[in-house]
Amino acid sequence: MKRLSLLSLLLLPGLAAGATDEGKLAFDKACAGCHTITPQSQSSGKTATAAKAAPAKQRGRSIDLGPLIPKRTPEQLRTWIAGPTQVNPKTSCDTRLVRVDDRDLLLNHLALSIHPPPPSREELLRQQFQQDLATRRAHQQRKANDPSRRSQGKK
């Protein structure tokens, strides 16, 4: 019995990844023609790249959902996906390609996509190396500028 529960725990991340992939497929099929998703930072609600998004008119038909998704409840998003023209009759959004079974997968994909991915191990190590190098250089600079060492001079 313990082995079975352990096996099921090991399989859960794979199942979650598969569900995310299916949600991305649903997004790509029905939404990606007109929409993009820019990850948002957790603290400020601004884009993770800290760049200001261009207005929708400058980007053509590509409307960024990144800033909009956190402002809506899952129920509001679910209602929009089920019938966008019922929420806003003037919209040109067409979600008929999203099957009823895929709506929750699409919602999960939207929720996960707005958060920036964590930095890779390589990126974390690179950042740590840069910090250590800057600290070492600052220490060497302070040592070189120390007045007690300058007065000794060369012999």
Residue 30: both structure tokens together: 């029905």
Q: What's the pLDDT score for residue 132?
A: 97
Residues 6+ apart with CB under 8 A from 10: none
Entry pTM:
0.54
pLDDT (tens, 9 = 90+) of the chain, 155 residues, equals 445 444 444 444 444 455 568 889 998 988 888 898 888 775 444 444 444 444 444 445 578 988 988 999 989 999 999 999 999 999 888 888 889 999 999 999 988 888 877 889 999 999 999 999 999 999 999 988 877 766 555 55
Q: Report domain extents, the chain.
A: 16-117, 120-155
**CB of 19 closer than 8 Å to CB of 107:** no
Q: What's the pLDDT score for residue 126?
A: 96
Residues 6+ apart with CB under 8 A from 37: 27, 64, 65, 66, 69, 110, 113, 114
| CATH class of the domain comprising 16-117 | mainly beta
Q: Closest Cα partner for 20 from 120, 97, 117, 106?
A: 106
